[in-house]
Amino acid sequence: MTAADERSILALNVGSSTLKFGLFPLAEGDDALLHGVLDYSGPTTGQLRITDSTGHSESREMVVNRDSAAGELLHYLSNHALFASIQSVGHRLVHGGSRLRQPVRIDGGVRALLEDVIPLAPDHLPAELRAIDEVLRVAPSLVQVACFDTAFHSEMPVVARLFGLPRRLSNSGVVRYGFHGLSYEYVVQELRKRGELPARTIVAHLGNGASIAAILNGACVDTSMGMTPSGGLVMSTRSGDLDPGVMLYLLRSRGFSVSELDDAINREGGLLGISEFSSDVLPGKKIHRGVFRRARRNRGARFHGRDRRAFAGGASADL
């Protein structure tokens, strides 16, 4: 079988400064044919690092930014022997809102629904939608599928989904959605595959964004993040959970604008705000450990204990 005969799926994970990708054969369980990362954290240029199934790696610089990253990656891959094998593109999307709870083929209607969800994840969804648009522009014949970080939590009990707010607000979508669901789903699948999934598991996803979930028999029953990715644990630059009165006080008495409050919660808070010098998990390791342990106790209390705990995310190995 030639490279062009192998049918594959391109998976894209758009972040604030990187586009992570992997090319996987349709045959389930096979390793990636290619994987890598396109780093566009620089002002005008980026670095593409790519590794094939033999372990051979290469890197190159390119003129790229967050908006053009997906298109530039496809242009680069179009010169690769495996490009003809790509049948579809899967996108990790942070939020599907109340109407998109399972993987779905992206068409004009789905694209419009996703546009409506942007207010729930304004720092994430715009870049993810631009990646969808870039793929459509560069390779319009490819099927595109959206997979949502909120989907894993969509069957949480009502008691875990509701905030202490008037019911008319929850009826309009102001509820706990939860995030990092694709990561949690992978952990559950791996533990189940190994025969190591107990009844009660506490799983933590620890990276620049961080959350924790209580999982009962493979299903999420509670999680730390709420309606948006800003809530829950203290994160690199995000505050995590706050007393609602703090936000009212800042707006009423300190004269904060909505934009200033947004910056304080999402870009100036977290480990960066506490330490005043770094958003890195390593310098803030002691703090990160502390907030994780507090959250683990809160979620674990729901189970009256736990049978296993598991970790995912780039920072978990350092704790």
| Share above pLDDT 90 across residues of the chain, in percent, rounded to a whole number | 63
Residue 280 has pLDDT above 90, yes or no: no
Q: What is the pLDDT of residue 208?
A: 82
Residue 281: pLDDT band by 50, 70, 90 thresholds?
A: low
Comparison of pLDDT for 104 and 208, the residue scoring more: 104
For residue 262, indicate whether it is catalytic.
Answer: no
Q: Are 79 and 142 in contact (CB under 8 A)?
A: no
Q: What is the pLDDT of residue 302?
A: 54
Span 250-256, mean pLDDT? 97
Residue 297 has pLDDT above 80, yes or no: no
Q: What is the DSSP string of 80-109?
A: STTGGGEEEEEEEES--TTT--S-EE--HH
Q: What is the pLDDT of residue 42?
A: 78
* Catalytic-labelled residue, pool 30, 52, 133, 149: 149
Which residues, at least 6 apart from 90, have a Cβ–Cβ distance to it below 8 Å? 9, 10, 11, 12, 103, 144, 145, 146, 147
| Share above pLDDT 70 across residues of the chain, in percent, rounded to a whole number | 86
Span 304-311, mean pLDDT? 65
Q: What is the pLDDT of residue 275?
A: 82
**Spatial CA neighbour of 121 closest among 10, 247, 245, 262:** 262
Residue 178: pLDDT band by 50, 70, 90 thresholds?
A: very high
In the chain the domains, ranked by start, together with CATH numbers, are 3-148 (3.30.420.40), 199-318 (3.30.420.40)
Q: What is the pLDDT of residue 1?
A: 44
Residue 237 has pLDDT above 80, yes or no: yes
Q: What is the pLDDT of residue 291?
A: 59
pLDDT digits (tens, 9 = 90+) for 145-168: 999 999 999 999 999 999 999 999
